[in-house]
Structure 1
């Protein structure tokens, strides 16, 4: 992927943003995946957004920036995924901006498939996503129900290209926008998104809701796939419940931002928390059923606390 000097001034078609925080070991694998892209290197740039890392991320970023002229290392001192994503948006030179998680590895035709979709599909989508296959460090446990795999950022809509159904969108580990459309919204809301140990989310979902209300559409291309690392420290019920709790907090913040009436939020927070069937299900003999319903209880609890005590 080494570029000659006269390629340095070529305007890239697409900017790839990797927002990273203390994951230098996984970051290298993501970057190596980008070195193997079938798309010619002069057609894309790689933005390494170091979000206040305390490991050797800077060393890696500097190394790749020095060796590959389409790589740029950028330090963002304010902790927060949305802040880092907005920094990438402000720095990107491409017509499109692709967000790749720092623990995800793209397939070789990832960028080529994305650009092909933007240039051939009619009407032109505002956003493109593809499969996100789980790279499980340990075997996926039997107690994990498929309906809650979303918490591990796994997505698979099959082997055929298609429009995403209404109210369904790509996930942030593998998502590409028209840069202008994202800029017009002001980027991602920085109240949402990961902030250190706070597992907040919904930042890209909020963007997608607004874009869909504007009449925009989202496209799924199975050729634009990535593999997403799922470490064993997450593959346990305690992490899953914590993740569910923060999902509820995120839901409440997103509802507030979108202008849902506070009286409606109060009502929903109580009715969801007092869902009798979920409580009764805790007596069910199958662990999978108990855990699945418990994640919904914890999500409701997070929503309740955010609505009632964080105004």
Structure 2
């Protein structure tokens, strides 16, 4: 006899890797949520191969919960945030699924604001709110120009639809999705798996959202949802930021192909190369002699350069895939 799975209103899914020190603050804030008295919801943690005492922390909270909230943990052995989120989708029982990273600190009404928005916008496949930076050290001058790359989003007080056609989309952190929309629209296997290699190629968040957009679902900004994103000092250091800039750039062309028609692809190729070449040259002229002292300008030119090279990275990825498939068939 098949087990009947109880459907819930809302799931908070927390992907984590070695999050023993970060998880308690997140879980404590989720336990203090307001306006959820009539909500049937759960918290699930996706442990992505942690080797610290994450499991002990989770067991402690499972035993100490006094509220009627289900807290479960699932081990996802495939490394990468994309695999962790896909596992969360399969395990979640909620109509809406919220991805909260283990360094995201939700406001006390974040769950209720997220749930209410989804109910009020039935065509919304995904929605996200304001993400504020909680910095361990002061960010560099003009950091606001690149803060979106670190999942900090403060876009004003009015709701609006994100511009998916121009890749202006929210990050996967603090994102809420409609489970039905995801299951019907997003492939089981995504091209981008998360920042796994030394290149730290990103794009997994945007890739999933583009498939939702392609299927006709709306993607919204809801300013009533507030989360603080903890930014440790090392995420503001030069070495990390430059790798991040290149990783965010290398995925650009492959992402643009998702919603492109065949006749548009050669045009996109030319625009990606020439458009970013123009930006690189403009930055070289504008900031000549300043790149050693201006970290933000250096970040931007690395992002433009990697974006310009992204068609070649996409070609390399496709060739690797063909090569691996050929080896598998021969075996």
Both proteins in one fold, TM over 0.5: yes
Identify the residue that residue 173 of structure 2 maps to in structure 1: 173
Among residues 63, 67, 92, which one is paired with 2:64 in the alignment?
Answer: 67
Which structure 1 segments of 5+ residues have no match?
1-8
CA distance in 1, matches of 2:260, 2:175: 26
Shift of 1:217: 1.6
Question: Can you list the C-alpha shifts for 1:234-274, whole angstroms capped at 9, x where unaligned?
Answer: 11232111101111222244345556767556545643564
Identify the residue that residue 184 of structure 2 maps to in structure 1: 184
| Residues 1:252 and 1:63: Cα distance change in structure 2 (over 3 Å) | farther
Among residues 294, 303, 309, which one is paired with 2:301 in the alignment?
Answer: 294
Identify the residue that residue 218 of structure 2 maps to in structure 1: 217
Shift of 1:169: 2.9
Count of residues in correspondence between the two structures = 300
Question: Taking structure 1 as the reference length, what is the TM-score of the superposition?
Answer: 0.85
Q: Does 2:25 align with 1:15?
A: no
Identify the residue that residue 30 of structure 1 maps to in structure 2: 26
CA contact 2:80–2:196 (8 Å) conserved in 1: yes
Question: Can you list the C-alpha shifts for 1:148-177, whole angstroms capped at 9, x where unaligned?
Answer: 1111110012123x1224323332111111
Which structure 2 segments of 5+ residues have no match?
320-331
CA distance in 1, matches of 2:218, 2:128: 11
| Residues 1:187 and 1:23: Cα distance change in structure 2 (over 3 Å) | farther
CA contact 2:192–2:203 (8 Å) conserved in 1: yes
CA contact 1:20–1:50 (8 Å) conserved in 2: yes
Alignment of 1:99-114 (within 5 A): 99-114=99-114
Identify the residue that residue 4 of structure 1 maps to in structure 2: none
Partner secondary structure for residue 75 of structure 2 = strand
CA distance in 2, matches of 1:308, 1:175: 30
| Residues 1:57 and 1:111: Cα distance change in structure 2 (over 3 Å) | same
Shift of 1:224: 1.2
Among residues 280, 285, 290, which one is paired with 2:285 in the alignment?
Answer: 280
Shift of 1:18: 0.5
CA contact 2:186–2:208 (8 Å) conserved in 1: no
Partner secondary structure for residue 175 of structure 2 = strand
Partner secondary structure for residue 173 of structure 1 = coil
| Residues 1:240 and 1:189: Cα distance change in structure 2 (over 3 Å) | farther
| Residues 1:307 and 1:197: Cα distance change in structure 2 (over 3 Å) | closer
Partner secondary structure for residue 30 of structure 1 = helix
Identify the residue that residue 53 of structure 1 maps to in structure 2: 50
CA distance in 2, matches of 1:103, 1:182: 24
| Residues 1:41 and 1:104: Cα distance change in structure 2 (over 3 Å) | farther
CA distance in 1, matches of 2:124, 2:104: 23
Question: Can you list the C-alpha shifts for 1:171-221, whole angstroms capped at 9, x where unaligned?
Answer: 211111110110112456433142445523222322222322333222222
Identify the residue that residue 5 of structure 1 maps to in structure 2: none
Alignment of 1:49-198 (within 5 A): 49-68=46-65, 70-121=70-121, 124-144=123-143, 146-160=144-158, 162-167=159-164, 168-186=168-186, 189-198=189-198
